[in-house]
A and B are shown apart, each in its own frame.
Chain A
Amino acid sequence: MLSALLIITSLMVVFLRNVVHCALALVAALFIIAVFFVTLQAPMVGVLQVLIYAGAIMVLFLFVIMLLSPTTRERGGGVWWNLGTVLALILGGLLVPLLSNSESARDPLASTETFGSPEMLAKSLFNDFVLPFEIASVLLLVAIVGAVVLAKRER
């Protein structure tokens, strides 16, 4: 049920003609994924998903869309669309057998109720993954600098 929704929204992202509609479809898709996260006992991640993606990133997208407000309507259809679609479908066709084998069908482990709680996330984040955490900060710094350098309007 959920997954059907997810797939539909994603398809809308890809196939809707209007950029804004695409963006909104993407927001919807991200929400659904967040829901998935919650069902998978990752509430914290789900929350972050909503905040960062639906909140920050999508807003950024919408800003840029407004900023550039493309005048020309995007051209679509034609052989290229079909070709691309076919290739992607083949990709799906290859991934499916790759992923769906008996081994991956095992049942979930009996999990403690604390699993996925903010504490656990924080613990592993600041113990095992403190270095990546630092790197991530550097990464974001780089991104900011870069964005400024690239997008700043020349005086």
Chain B
Amino acid sequence: MVPLHYYLLVSAVVFAIGVIGVLIRRNLIVVLMSVELMLNAVNLTFVAFSRFLGSMEGQVAVFFVMAVAAAEAVIGLAIIISGFRHRQSLDPQEMQLLKW
């Protein structure tokens, strides 16, 4: 049987990969995807724990996280769209109106 920390490590790695995406990608949609990736990594952790603790709370949590993820995706995409209307670009680094 696979030990717990195997899952934990995998999810940690995926989380880190998600972080990479958020940091480096210059396309807001991909950045948003990377965020989803992070959340899913956390989901994996939750489920793994729930399995190994034998408590359902973890799975329930995942359920809620999905809801949150959906909500964030929706809002995020909406914001991206409205932003795209202002400057025809998806590059996060081109948002330079507000600084200093």
Residues of A within 8 A of B36 (CB): 26, 53, 57
Bound-complex Cα distance A53 to B26 (A):
23
Residues of A within 8 A of B6 (CB): 3
Bound-complex Cα distance A76 to B31 (A):
13
Interface range on chain B (Cβ under 8 Å from partner): 35 or more
Residues of A within 8 A of B17 (CB): 7, 10-11, 13-14, 88
Interface of A is mostly: helix
Q: Which of B4, B54, B67, B84 contacts A111 (CB 8 A)?
A: B54
The contact string, 1 if C-beta is below 8 Å from chain A, for chain B 4-27, is: 111111101111111111011111
The contact string, 1 if C-beta is below 8 Å from chain B, for chain A 71-97, is: 110111000110011011101100110
Known: A42-B50, A136-B68; 4 extra A-B contacts, CB below 8 A, are A11-B17, A60-B74, A106-B52, A136-B67
Q: Which B residues form the contact surface with A (CB < 8 A)?
A: 1, 3-10, 12-21, 23-27, 29-30, 32-34, 36-37, 40, 43-44, 47-48, 50-54, 56-57, 59-60, 62-64, 66-75, 77-82, 84, 88-91
Q: What are 24 pairs between A and B in contact, CB < 8 Å? A: A13-B34, A13-B37, A26-B37, A33-B40, A33-B44, A36-B47, A52-B70, A60-B74, A70-B89, A74-B30, A84-B24, A85-B24, A88-B20, A91-B15, A92-B12, A95-B15, A96-B9, A106-B3, A116-B59, A125-B60, A125-B63, A136-B67, A146-B75, A146-B78
